[in-house]
Amino acid sequence: MALRSALKTKALEVHLVGHSAGSILLGHLLKRLATPAGAAAPVEISSCSLYAAACSVEFALEHYLGATSSVLPIRKLHLDYLSDRNEKDDYLGGVGALHLYGKSILYLVSRALLDVRKTPLLGFERALDPAFANDANQWSESQLANLKQWQAAFKGSKHCVTAPSVPINKKGKTQQAQHGSFDNNVDVIGATIARISGKKPVKPIEWLDY
């Protein structure tokens, strides 16, 4: 709020980008911004981009809709996520061909680490696909109402990574499309920068190979 007050000649423009559990952190931040203590008006967020969001759809309903719409209109929320095929081809570490878990970390969270097994997470392709809104095999029946409510309300943009590998530098080097590959993906990062600036970067991103 102090920064906004200090910008006397220029409006404060805030863009949020979060990966995985960052969607939970930013969701809580939005609720705080919607009801700022001692401020005359909430800070409006210009855009919010979430990569492979690990928050539940139920959390998204509470923190990215409703009271927070005063700071982040839902049309300004952008979701980047893996295709379900890529989620299932992903895996948690291990040695050689021996994997600790044979799917992505989102599947592990959804099916093993939450109180409700098969909780739909915002970063799942199938959580955004109406064809799976009533699928009690994919999701817990107790979560289907939340899923349908989110799908009906979401008016932002969706960007699915369908290719099995993603470009990570200008020389054509690629890596497997995995949960951790979003900040290495020159296409995803380039598109995010373009959304923030309102135009394409002066030059394409050359190197995210790290």
SS3 category, 33: helix
Domain count along the chain: 1
Distance CA 4, CA 152 (A): 34
Percent over 70 (pLDDT), the chain: 91
Tokens at residue 175, please?
Answer: 């890596």
- pLDDT exceeds cutoff 90 at 106: yes
pLDDT attached to residue 183? 97
- pLDDT exceeds cutoff 60 at 9: no
Q: What is the pLDDT of residues 46-86, one digit of tens each?
A: 999 999 999 999 999 999 987 677 899 999 999 999 999 99
**203 falls within a domain:** no
Residue 1's pLDDT band, with cuts at 50, 70 and 90, is low
**189 falls within a domain:** yes
Higher per-residue pLDDT: 40 or 63: 63
- pLDDT exceeds cutoff 80 at 207: yes
Please name the residue ranges forming H helices in 64-166.
84-89, 105-108, 144-153
Judge contact between 11 and 1, C-beta under 8 A. Answer: no
pLDDT attached to residue 110? 98
- pLDDT exceeds cutoff 70 at 139: yes
Nearest to residue 33, comparing CAs of 45, 43, 23, 47?
Answer: 43
- pTM assigned to the model: 0.92
**206 falls within a domain:** no
- pLDDT exceeds cutoff 60 at 39: no
Q: What Rg do the C-alpha atoms of the chain give, in angstroms? A: 18
Judge contact between 168 and 179, C-beta under 8 A. Answer: no
Could you tell me the residue range of the domain that residue 174 belongs to?
12-197
Higher per-residue pLDDT: 73 or 10: 73
Nearest to residue 31, comparing CAs of 5, 7, 61?
Answer: 61
**205 falls within a domain:** no
**134 falls within a domain:** yes
**88 falls within a domain:** yes
Higher per-residue pLDDT: 200 or 86: 86
Question: Across the chain, what does the average pLDDT equal?
Answer: 91
SS3 category, 53: coil
Q: Which class for 81: exposed (0-12), middle (13-18), buried (19 or more C-beta within 10 A)?
A: buried
